[in-house]
C-alpha cells in the first residue's frame, strides 16, 4: 500500500533507506548503513511536500526572502546564515522552505491542528490524529503549543540529514512522551500503535492487531538492560546501534515524517 506514492511497510522493518528489499535478496553487509538523502528523497517527506507545494515555481528571490524577513509575519525567524549553520540544508533549500512556510503559516507559527491536517492528507487510509499529536510535541521544543520556523527546520534537518546519533536522540525524544528522560513500555506502545493506526489496515504486508504490542515487547526487552522497567537514552542508543533490526525499525521516521 502506498501513502501518496510512498511504500508503507506494515512490518516497520523495511530497508534502512525506506525501500523494501527484493524477495530473496540478502544484504551485502550485516552492518546498518546511514541512508543518503538526495533532493528526490527529501521531497518524499510529508512536511517538506506540504510547504513546498505552496511555493510558486516562478517566484524569484528578493531581499526580504533572502534574509528570511517578512514585515507581515508576526514571528520573525532567525537569519538565514544562522539557520544554514545550524542545519544541513543549503541556502536555496532554506529559502524555498521558508517561502512555503510563510505562505502556509502567515503568523510564522505552526499549531497542532495543522500537523493533524497534513498527516490526514498524506495518510488518508488510516487515522493520523494521534501520531500527528506525538510528532508535534517532539517538534514543539518550548512546549508552548506552537512551532517556530527555526525549530521546524532544525528538526527536519536532523531527521532527514542528521547523523545516526542525532536521529536516535530525536527518536528518543519522540518516544519519551512525558519528557521525563525515560521511555516506558507504555510510551513506546503508544507511539508504535499510533503509527500503525495512521498506516491503516490496508498496509502490505497485512498488519495484525497485536503487531504493535509484539514489536514493543521484543524491542523493550532488548533495550531495558538493567530490567528497571524504563529505557534511558544511553540504553536506547546503544541497543539501536548494535541491533540491525531495531536500527532499521527506527528508520520508520523516514517513511512517516
Question: Residues 144-191: pLDDT tens digits?
Answer: 999 999 999 999 999 889 998 998 999 999 999 999 999 999 999 999
Per DSSP, the three-state class of 9 is strand
Q: Which segment of 1-10, 60-69, 226-235 scores lowest on mean pLDDT?
A: 1-10
| Domain 91-161 identical in fold to domain 164-256 | yes
Domain ranges of the chain: 91-161, 164-256
CATH class of the domain at 91-161: mainly alpha
Phi-psi region of 111 (alpha: psi -120 to 50; beta: other; left: phi over 0): beta
Question: What's the CATH code, domain 164-256?
Answer: 1.10.238.10
**Helix 164-175 × helix 185-199 angle, to 10°:** 100
Strands (E), 14-129: 109-110
Kindly report, residue by residue over 64-97, the tens digit of the pLDDT. Answer: 444 444 334 445 566 888 999 999 999 999 988 9
Q: Which of 140, 115, 141 is nearest to 129 (CA)?
A: 115
pLDDT at 209: 66
Amino acid at each position: 500500500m502506498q501513502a501518496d506514492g510512498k511504500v508503507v511497510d506494515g512490518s516497520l522493518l523495511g530497508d534502512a533507506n525506506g525501500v523494501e528489499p527484493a524477495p530473496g535478496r540478502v544484504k551485502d553487509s550485516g552492518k546498518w548503513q546511514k541512508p543518503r538523502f538526495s533532493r528526490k528523497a527529501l521531497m518524499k517527506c510529508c512536511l517538506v511536500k506540504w510547504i513546498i507545494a505552496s511555493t510558486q515555481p516562478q517566484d524569484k528571490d528578493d531581499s526580504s526572502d533572502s534574509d528570511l524577513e517578512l514585515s507581515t509575519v508576526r514571528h520573525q525567524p532567525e537569519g538565514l546564515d544562522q539557520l544554514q549553520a545550524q542545519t544541513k540544508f543549503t541556502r536555496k533549500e532554506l529559502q524555498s522552505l521558508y517561502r512555503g512556510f510563510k505562505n502556509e503559516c502567515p503568523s510564522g507559527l505552526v499549531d497542532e491542528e495543522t500537523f493533524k491536517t497534513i498527516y490526514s492528507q498524506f495518510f488518508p487510509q488510516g487515522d493520523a490524529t494521534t501520531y500527528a499529536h506525538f510528532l508535534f510535541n517532539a517538534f514543539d521544543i518550548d512546549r508552548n503549543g506552537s512551532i517556530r520556523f527555526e525549530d521546524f527546520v532544525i528538526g527536519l534537518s536532523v531527521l532527514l540529514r542528521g547523523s545516526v546519533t542525532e536521529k536516535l536522540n530525536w527518536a528518543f525524544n519522540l518516544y519519551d512522551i512525558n519528557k521525563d528522560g525515560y521511555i516506558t513500555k507504555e510510551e513506546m506502545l503508544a507511539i508504535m500503535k499510533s503509527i500503525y493506526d495512521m498506516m491503516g489496515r490496508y498496509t502490505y504486508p497485512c498488519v495484525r492487531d497485536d503487531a504493535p504490542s509484539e514489536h514493543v515487547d521484543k524491542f523493550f526487552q532488548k533495550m531495558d538492560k538493567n530490567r528497571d522497567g524504563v529505557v534511558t537514552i544511553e540504553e536506547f542508543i546503544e541497543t539501536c546501534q548494535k541491533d540491525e533490526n531495531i536500527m532499521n525499525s527506527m528508520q520508520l521516521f523516514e517513511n512517516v515524517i
